[in-house]
Structure 1
Amino acid sequence: MLGILFAVLTLATAALGCGVPAYPPAVSKVVGGEDARPYSWPWQASLQYSSSGKWHHTCGGTLIASNWVMTAAHCISSSRTYRVFLGKYNLNVEEAGSIAVQPQKIIVHEKWNPNNVANGYDIALIKLTEHVTLSKQIELACLPAPQSILASNTACYVTGWGRLQTNGALPDDLQQGLLLVVDYATCSKTGWWGSTVKRNMVCAGGDGITSSCNGDSGGPLNCQGADGRWEVHGIVSFGSALGCNFYHKPSVFTRVSDFNSWIQQVMDSN
């Protein structure tokens, strides 16, 4: 028990400072995505790659320590050069207080199989070349307790710069979308995701209105704990090939609480 407790404390990375934005998010019950309040998800990262001399947003990420960002394994390609942008709200304008940092190394989960996303293990950690200075715009996310499972209908928020709808435009401003958790028993039913969804995943949404979409991958599923802190329970992994807001095809996330020990081990050994 003490070992678990220690892991929780170290993972929360001096938990005193995690999960409490200086600018609290405007968590209205709006169905469908909406502009987030600027800098209200201060652990949100933009993973960007270089092409033809320009940087392009490709995925989201979550700052979990001053020099570590968590994202999805499917976001990583060995042929690309990446940077991580922190403290951003509008990706198309210069913002005071934001910072772009190069990765020192990227560790993809050893069980990740790019040819079988449904196998799970869609998680990667990016070690930054420097420790970033935390501020009102850049804060750490809290991670959930190991193996904690969200109750059905828990209200969480997916955040990112992904497409506003299937094949739609990419927004400049960070978006947030209210998603209700769908428990594993429901999500694994025939007519939902069936055997595609695994126990090390979280389903949320599926109302046919709000979901994550292309470009949100790797970003956080933010759920508020009983103590008021925001915890990142999920990493955007996959959705339906039929479209982003398909009925009974909730957004599927890597369940962070299944990977606490892996995260800790990677951070300790690198």
Structure 2
Amino acid sequence: MMWLVPFLACIGLICAEEPFNYSVYNERVIGGHDAKPNTWRWQVSMQYDSYNDNSFYHICGGSIIDAFHIMTAAHCIMGTDPSQYRVVVGEYNLYEDDGSEQFKRVERIVVHPGWNGDLGKGNDIALLKLADPVYDNGYVAIAELPYPGETLPHGYNCTITGWGLMDYEGSVPAILQEAPLDVVEHSVCSQGDWWGSIALETMVCAGGDGVISGCQGDSGGPLSCYTGGAWRVHGVVSYGPSGMCNQYKKPTVFTRVSSFLDWMYSVMDGHEEDNSGK
């Protein structure tokens, strides 16, 4: 599991890393399966160009929250230069041209002012402002969001999606994966044999059955839950256990979107200063 120290470095699913030199196998995402095309239309692939040579690679997921803004995790921000990032919307197979993609440059990065690099302190959320808006080509959609302060009951079924690792051996998927996860309420997730005190009320825990989980590369992506008559993004993938991602009583932990709506709307309205890299 955490072995009490993994937040000191980029371990487990909790960080974006250099691209893996692994082959793509036929195994499924941890406990999940290939998503149907054109289903999770708010899902994006956040990509990074380490050497400024236009060689972008997937590092994290994200969600479209309006035509100009993408929501992701603060820990996915690897550098402060927006030109080193791009966002791909309408993506399905990372290694093929699906004909549905839109490739968008990033103009501005805004990291939550409370983010200090310590995942256990929370505030692991950031917004990317795009240089050009996402347009409706039939393969994208703006994510519905929860109500302010909304929480979900214990056992509520949601879905995690992403291109994260599918097993501990490092198998990476070409096709977007999906997996069902049940919410673990805060009173349970914060118990000592679960995540303890680093599970905050501004987070959502989901999973922990030892079978299904998010993993590295899913960071920043959505936890989508059907509430109020619509699929809504209730969480942003934040952290999980080091080593094997699908460990018992160590659910995937998400930033709780409903706790950050005021800040998000302030950024989207242009009232928040650029504090990328914080």
- In the other structure, the counterpart of 1:105 is 108
Does residue 261 of the first structure (1) align with residue 244 of the second (2)? no
Instruction: Look up the equivalent residue of 2:249 and give its one-letter code.
Output: H
Question: 3-state DSSP class of the match of 1:102?
Answer: strand
Q: In the aligned structure 2, how far is the partner of 1:242 from the partner of 1:130?
A: 39
State the shift of 1:236 in Å: 0.1
Give a deviation string over 1:11-58, Cα, whole Å, max 9, x none.
xxxxxxxxxxxxxxxxxxx98110000120000000001145421100
More relative contact order, 1 or 2 (CA 8 Å, 6+ apart): 2
State the shift of 1:248 in Å: 0.2
Instruction: Look up the equivalent residue of 2:219 and give its one-letter code.
Output: S
Among 180, 200, 203, the alignment partner of 2:202 is: 200
- The within-5 A match list for 1:135-214 is 135-214=137-216
Q: How many residue pairs are counted as aligned between the two chains?
A: 239
- In the other structure, the counterpart of 2:119 is 117
Counterpart contact for 2:240–2:252, Cα < 8 Å: yes
State the shift of 1:135 in Å: 3.0
- TM-score (norm. length: structure 2): 0.83
Instruction: Look up the equivalent residue of 1:237 and give its one-letter code.
Output: S
Question: 3-state DSSP class of the match of 1:246?
Answer: coil
State the shift of 1:154 in Å: 0.6
Give a deviation string over 1:124-164, Cα, whole Å, max 9, x none.
00000011112321111001000000111110000000000
- In the other structure, the counterpart of 1:240 is 241
Counterpart contact for 2:65–2:71, Cα < 8 Å: yes
Q: In the aligned structure 2, how far is the partner of 1:128 from the partner of 1:31?
A: 31
Counterpart contact for 2:120–2:199, Cα < 8 Å: yes
Q: In the aligned structure 2, how far is the partner of 1:167 from the partner of 1:124?
A: 30
Among 107, 110, 130, the alignment partner of 2:132 is: 130
Q: In the aligned structure 2, how far is the partner of 1:238 from the partner of 1:261?
A: 23
Instruction: Look up the equivalent residue of 2:198 and give its one-letter code.
Output: T
Does residue 90 of the first structure (1) align with residue 89 of the second (2)? no
Q: In the aligned structure 2, how far is the partner of 1:252 from the partner of 1:159?
A: 14
Question: 3-state DSSP class of the match of 2:269?
Answer: helix
Counterpart contact for 1:73–1:112, Cα < 8 Å: yes
> What's the Cα RMSD here?
1.4
Give a deviation string over 1:32-90, Cα, whole Å, max 9, x none.
11000012000000000114542110000000001100000000022561100000100
State the shift of 1:92 in Å: 0.3
Q: In the aligned structure 2, how far is the partner of 1:31 from the partner of 1:125?
A: 27
Question: 3-state DSSP class of the match of 1:156?
Answer: strand
Counterpart contact for 1:160–1:175, Cα < 8 Å: yes
- TM-score (norm. length: structure 1): 0.86
Give a deviation string over 1:69-116, Cα, whole Å, max 9, x none.
0000000022561100000100001121211100110100011011x1
Question: 3-state DSSP class of the match of 1:261?
Answer: helix
Does residue 35 of the first structure (1) align with residue 34 of the second (2)? yes
Q: In the aligned structure 2, how far is the partner of 1:112 from the partner of 1:79?
A: 14
Question: 3-state DSSP class of the match of 1:169?
Answer: coil
